[in-house]
Homo-oligomer: A and B are copies of this chain.
Amino acid sequence: MIETILLKKRPVGEPTLDNFEFEKETDTPAPSEGELLLETKYVSVDPYIRGRMSAAKSYVAPYEVGQPLSSGVVAKVLVSKNDNFEEGEFVSGLLEWKSQQVNNGEGLQKVSEDKAPLSAYLGIVGMTGLTAFLGLHEIGKPKKGETLVVSGAAGAVGSVVGQIGKILGLNVIGIAGSDEKTEMLTSEFGFDHAINYKTTEDMKAAIEEAAPNGVDIYFDNVGGPISDAVLYSINRFARIIICGAISVYNKTETPKGLAVQPFLVKNSALMQGFIVSNYAEKFPEAINQLASWLQDGKLKYKETIVEGFENTPQAFLDLMNGKNKGKMIVKA
């Protein structure tokens, strides 16, 4: 039996299980010449999915109501009628939320259990690691000795950003939402400082204290009041990487915040939206670097793995509510 997860209706504000619909078919689809039959093994759930559930123009096309959702998936080739793939191989790519599906193989990457666990291709050696590595390098342009602040630091991207920062010799400050997470950042991931924004009354003062020399790079995964507080500490020529904005995805009204322009002009600072897919030509080199750091034990990663393909919508909702530690993945 083949199970598909569809967008039932677009969410207004916070999404719920009512926004999703399940469809079951009993016929196994048959690949034509040049096609593959794939079996889903791991599904990535990510904050950007919330954006695609809305009809609004964004950097990726919205999902269609009544059609399957899609995201990063690792799948096994069950049947191959495509010369580039063999049965039994594993592939990674943007695929539909279906337990089995036919695909023509375009845009799929072969992945191997020898170099890294299969789930890691949805995380540390996949889009998560690439987002951290390329966002930090291409916009952040880090220089040894500088101070890096990361928000959403215990999340999939944030924890990798901080570790890369340490590898590059930066002073790294993480912001996260529980004592358990901040403890993890400093003791396991090697961050120099970590701030729990839920128990800190004056975030501006806390950042000033953690970054006495000011902030050179801010890797912003959250937006909102946390990011406003960081602005007071930015240095001359600071670089701010806007990488998603979980705190505003659910808002139905366009949110207000501190006007950033006076901070940017006073400090000749830069703020730039980062979408990893714009840097595709840099992926191979970045993946090699990430895999090498991983094999050398310089990069650690956390996964929250939810069992059962049918739990993908709930896993996504849990991600949006910060219940994950590290990359959130569904094991089909």
Main secondary structure of the interface of A (DSSP, over half): mixed
Are B224 and A266 in touch, CB under 8 angstroms?
Answer: no
A223 to chain B, nearest CB (A): 4
Are B266 and A269 in touch, CB under 8 angstroms?
Answer: no
Of A1-9, A189-197, A241-249, the stretch lying at the interface with chain B is A241-249
A219 part of interface (Cβ distance < 8 Å): no
Q: Which of B223, B244, B267 meets A273, CB within 8 Å? A: B267
Are A262 and B248 in touch, CB under 8 angstroms?
Answer: yes
Question: What residues of B have a CB within 8 angstroms of the CB of A272 in the complex?
Answer: 264, 268-271
Of A34-42, A78-86, A252-260, the stretch lying at the interface with chain B is A252-260
Closest to A227 in B: B261
261-284 of chain A: CB within 8 A of chain B: 261-275, 278
Closest to A244 in B: B265
Q: Which of B59, B220, B263, B268 meets A275, CB within 8 Å? A: B268
Are B262 and A223 in touch, CB under 8 angstroms?
Answer: yes
Are A264 and B258 in touch, CB under 8 angstroms?
Answer: no
A175 to chain B, nearest CB (A): 15
Known: A270-B271, A272-B270. A258 touches B254 (CB 8 A): yes
Whole-angstrom distance between the alpha carbons of A291 and B260 in the complex? 35
A26 part of interface (Cβ distance < 8 Å): no
A199 part of interface (Cβ distance < 8 Å): no
Whole-angstrom distance between the alpha carbons of A199 and B237 in the complex? 37
Are A57 and B242 in touch, CB under 8 angstroms?
Answer: no
Are B278 and A273 in touch, CB under 8 angstroms?
Answer: no
Known: A259-B256, A262-B245, A262-B254. A278 touches B268 (CB 8 A): yes
Whole-angstrom distance between the alpha carbons of A263 and B269 in the complex? 18
Are A264 and B248 in touch, CB under 8 angstroms?
Answer: no
27 A-B pairs in the complex with CB atoms less than 8 angstroms apart: A51-B266, A59-B268, A220-B261, A223-B262, A224-B259, A227-B261, A242-B261, A242-B264, A242-B265, A243-B265, A245-B261, A245-B262, A245-B265, A248-B262, A254-B258, A254-B262, A257-B257, A257-B258, A257-B260, A260-B271, A261-B271, A264-B271, A264-B272, A268-B278, A269-B273, A270-B273, A271-B272
